[in-house]
Structure formats: C-alpha cells, structure tokens
Structure 1
Amino acid sequence: MRNFVENMALWADITDPQRHFETEVSVRAFKEPVLRYAIFAFSSRHMNRKDNSDATEALQHHNCCVQLLIPALSGPRDSITEDILAAVAILRQHEEMDGEDNLFHLTGTTHILNTVSTFGSSGGLGEAAAWLCLRQDIYISLTNQQPLRTNLHSFHHSDVFQRTDDFAWSSRMVFLLAKVVQSAFTDSALAHGVQQEIEEWNSNKPDTFHPVRSAPRGPELDRRFPTIWMLLPVHVIGIQYYHIAKILLALSEAPRAHSAYESLRHSRLVEKHVRHHLLTVLGLAQSNSKAENTLFTARHSLVACELSMIPRV
C-alpha cells in the first residue's frame, strides 16, 4: 500500500488536483476489498517487475479482485460504483505491465464508461477514474493505430471545461488529443474546429505551462533530446499531449500535391514537422523525472511514429 501511495498513485492523479487515487482510494481500500486487492496486485507487480519469478503474489491479489468484480459487473447497472471503476482502472495499469497485453481490463473500463456515462462528469473519484481510463484508451489507440473505444460524450459536462486552473487546462488537452485520435484512426474527416481548438489551447495556456528552463539538443553537449524543465508533472502532461496532437495532425493531413516533386516535398515537410514535435515529447519525458508516466507516453509516441513509417530519431 505504501509503495502505491508513494510511487504509483501520481500516475493516475497527474491531472487531478485533489489526488483521489493517493488520498481517497488508499483510504477506501481499508474497507473496500475490491480496491485493496487491485492496489496490492498492481503494487506487488511493480515492486517485483525486475523478477518475473515473483509474480505469484501479484497474480493471487489480481484473482481475488477479479472474483469480487465479476458479480458487480454482471449485475444491474446501478451495481457499478465508482469503487468498481477505480479498481478496474488500477487493474488496467497492472495489465499494461504485461509483456503481452491482452487488453482485458481496457475492455472492462471502456464498457463501464460507455454503460454508465455519468462517470465522466460526476466529480469525485468516479470522474478521476474516468479521466485515467480515457488516457489508457488513448495509449492503446496510438500504439495499435485503432479508434478509441471510449464514447467521448461522457465527458462533455465535466467541469474541466469551465475551470481555469492548470489541472483543468491539462485535462482539456487530454480531451482534445482524444478527439484527434478518434478521427485519425477512423474514416471520419478531422474537423477543422479541433485544430483551431488545439491552437487556441496553446495560445491561451497559463504562463505556468512555459518551461522554467530549456536548452536545445546538440551533439556537442551530448544531448540527443532538448532539455525542457516544467514546473509540475501536470504541466508536462499538458504540453506533451499538445505535441502528440500536433504529430497526429501532421500525419493526418492529406497532401495536395499535383506532381511527384510536390508529393516528395510535402512528405519531407511532414517528416520535419513530426521530428520536431517527437523530439519535444521525448525531451519532456527525459527532463522531468517526477512525471514518470510521461516516459510511457513517449514510448507510445515512438511506436505510433514507427508504425506510421516516420524515421525514428
């Protein structure tokens, strides 16, 4: 439990000013076995991640949690509480550590969100878990080049679209990236309004989203990626998601070339554009060690670019 609170809860709470997974989930886990077993499964897997032979403990906790989840998820809709959603979201984090990701718990979280659409704007732990689940869905959509499973309408009434604090600003960029991903891997055309919203987000973002220190990459300094120090992890995630959105927008832009030369020129411009934003995504992850889950996002971005046949940096 202490390992979860001190080292892992921030991954879930990175855009949550009230830190529900650190402060609320850990407290509820003393009385709610489904949360307790989910935390123990994820935390023990994290502690023994370098030694797969010690995965038995994590598996035992995981199985206990699943046994509690089955009747709740098989019952009526009102039996799916925010504790259930949070537990499945934690098990999804546990599942992400598997070498072969079967997406079982991702299927569970998206099913819950699409069935109980109020979680995305319910406030409290339910909404905090919903935003975590959305980020988890975005990761898989990027790496597998497939549409989102989550219905974004669930989030339309969230108060992050009215609030002006930094956590709300980052959550809005998460939502904007989700909209880009939703269009990028489906046959639907990307609405021009989304591109405009992304640029407005970048133009109007608070000053706290500007780096406190930055330095360009350069072989003479033995820096493969730019140095970009951000104030807090929440600022890292907002800026990182902005640059990932710019990558997808560049890759989704249809060429208007009328000749082979123009087509080649367009491809080179796209490659240059993507390289710049990808280096920024990687630099943000490397420069801000406390925002550990941005390393996961950087890895997923690399996979997405590789699958899109963009040369790796």
Structure 2
Amino acid sequence: MGHFDENLLAAVILLRTHEEMSENDERRHLFGTTRILNSIASFAADGGLRESASWVSLRQHIYISLTSQHPLTINLTNYRHSSVFHVSDDESWANRIIFIFARMLTYVFGEDNKQLSLEQWAELDAEVAAWEVSKPWHFTPLFVESPGVSALKSNRSPWPELYVCNPAQVVGLQHYYFAKIVLAIYDPRLSKLSFGSLRLRRDSESMVRECLRMVVGLAVSNDHVQTAMFQGSHILSACGMYLNNREEQEAAVSFLEQMTRRMGWQTSHIIRGLKEQWQI
C-alpha cells in the first residue's frame, strides 16, 4: 500500500505540473495532492520518494498562495517531523527556508484576514535572519555583480548576476528573498500613521525591489535550473508592480516571454497584468 501511495502522489504532482503549464489552470490536481498529503500524515517525514514528493507539492501550494494571495490549503504540521530539520545537506537547508516561508504565508493570507501582529512579524523575521546567518558558507554565490555592464557577458543586464553551485542553493536563496519581500510588504508598522511612516513605506518598497531583483537575478544567472526560472515568474506575478524603472520593466517582460518560448510556461496573462499596473 505504501508503494502505491508514493507512486500515486508522484503521479498527481506530475499531473499538477502539466495543469500549471496550460492556459486555464483549474487546479484540480492541486486539490488531489492536498487531500493525499493531509490524509496520509507521514508522507512529509517518510524519507525517500514520498518525502521528496511532499516537498515538491508544498512548493506548488506556495506558488498558488503567493500569486493568488489565498491561504495555503496544505497542513504544515506534517512537515515539522521531516528529516530536513536533522540533516545538513543543501536540499535540507533549502527546504528549511521553504518551510519558514510557507509558515509565513499561513499568517499573512490567513482565513480570518487578521493583520500580522508585531510579535508574529518579529518572530518570522528572526527565523529568516537565523536561517541566513546559519546557512552553510557555500550557499554564498561564487560570483556576484551588480546590475550594469556584465563582466561575463557582452550585454548590459538590469539584473544582478549571482552564480551558485547547485540547484538547491539557488532555490533556497530565492525563498530567502521571497521571505524578505513578504516581511517588507506585511510589516505591521506600515499601517500606523506617524511622521516617520512615509520614510518607512519608502524603505519597505525599496527592500521589495531589491529582493525582487535578487530573485530574478538568481534565475537569469542560473537559467539551467528550471525551478529557479519558475520562481522568477512567480515573484514577478505577485510583486512585479513594484518595479518602477522602465529598463527593469522591459527586462521583466523579456524574461517572461523567454520562459514561454523555452519552457511553454504561459506568461501572457502576467505580462498583461504588469503592463496595466505599470500603465504602459
């Protein structure tokens, strides 16, 4: 029965991936993985194919929650018993920050629509900071260059260049910047009117743009990592409206168009939405 279950989960995840690639994503297979994972509590802590598949499924749920601003429909309790919190390989470190980010989404997109409290925000901020400080040294990119004329390429790029050793490190770093973006946007101090609130809001928007550039920069610099490319698309769908520089806006559109050409990922609706928000 266990063998059947893990194959069933893997099959549903593959069907869900196919569903995401279509023009009309009705999320039928997302509901399937949710039911399987929430009914078979041990999947996220079983090891092997079942545990690996459960983490892929969690990333799929994160994508839906982030881009739709709806609550996560998956039970995170099962993931707390995963082996990723007891081992120190790159995949485990990446999954730790993915779990922190998933927890963050349960707070900011909760069903009760309550604002994140300052205490909750500070707790999440501390968890993200602790991951960043304690992550292995080799998660640091091998090469970093600010936007501008590239030393490694002949063209000018509006995105920073950040070359990383392996896919798990790329995805882990992207989720770290995802978390920083959400913390900046949902900082409860932004809702309080004061003499310093305008400066705080400007700082928040600047942080969002800086982290968004890092996410897309990681994707572009490591474009052999398809998951990283998808993450770049997700963050542009959710937060691309924060880009206020025309060169960056055009580069974002180019990035999304390239994803459609290379991977078949449908981005035309994202581009239309961004152009409306940018008023171009």
Scaled by the length of structure 1, the TM-score of the pair is 0.71
Tell me the secondary structure at the aligned position of residue 223 of structure 2. Answer: coil
Identity %: 39
What runs of 5+ residues in structure 2 fail to find an aligned partner?
249-280
Shift of 1:164: 1.3
Checking the alignment, whether the CA contact within 8 Å between 1:120 and 1:155 is kept in structure 2 is yes
Deviation per residue, 1:28-60 (Å, 9 max, x gap): xxxxxxxxxxxxxxxxxxxxxxxxxxxxxxxxx
1:94 aligns with 2:94: no
Deviation per residue, 1:110-157 (Å, 9 max, x gap): 111111111111111111110000000000111111110110001111
Letter of the structure 2 residue corresponding to residue 177 of structure 1: F
Checking the alignment, whether the CA contact within 8 Å between 1:119 and 1:130 is kept in structure 2 is yes
Q: 2:129 and 2:208 mapped to 1: Cα distance?
A: 16
Task: Find the counterpart in structure 2 of residue 205 from structure 1.
Answer: 135
1:172 aligns with 2:104: no
Q: 1:143 and 1:288 mapped to 2: Cα distance?
A: 23
Tell me the secondary structure at the aligned position of residue 139 of structure 1. Answer: helix
Moved over 4 A (4+): 77-80
Q: 1:258 and 1:242 mapped to 2: Cα distance?
A: 29
Task: Find the counterpart in structure 2 of residue 39 from structure 1.
Answer: none
What runs of 5+ residues in structure 1 fail to find an aligned partner?
1-76
Count how many residue pairs are aligned between Structure 1 and Structure 2. 234
CA RMSD of aligned residues (A): 2.0
Shift of 1:193: 2.4
Tell me the secondary structure at the aligned position of residue 146 of structure 1. Answer: coil
Residue pairs, 1:208-223, within 5 angstroms: 208-218=138-148, 222-223=156-157
1:161 aligns with 2:85: yes
Shift of 1:304: 0.9
Residue pairs, 1:291-302, within 5 angstroms: 291-302=225-236
Matching residue within 52, 69, 87 for 1:145? 69
Q: 1:150 and 1:105 mapped to 2: Cα distance?
A: 13
The range that moved more, 297-306 or 180-189, is 180-189
Deviation per residue, 1:185-242 (Å, 9 max, x gap): 1235362322211111100110110011110002686111000000111110010100
Checking the alignment, whether the CA contact within 8 Å between 1:257 and 1:266 is kept in structure 2 is no
Residue pairs, 1:137-286, within 5 angstroms: 137-186=61-110, 187=113, 189=116, 191=120, 192-218=122-148, 222-254=156-188, 255=190, 257-259=192-194, 262-286=196-220
Shift of 1:274: 0.4
Task: Find the counterpart in structure 2 of residue 52 from structure 1.
Answer: none
Tell me the secondary structure at the aligned position of residue 42 of structure 2. Answer: helix
Shift of 1:182: 1.3
Tell me the secondary structure at the aligned position of residue 156 of structure 1. Answer: helix
1:123 aligns with 2:47: yes
1:310 aligns with 2:270: no
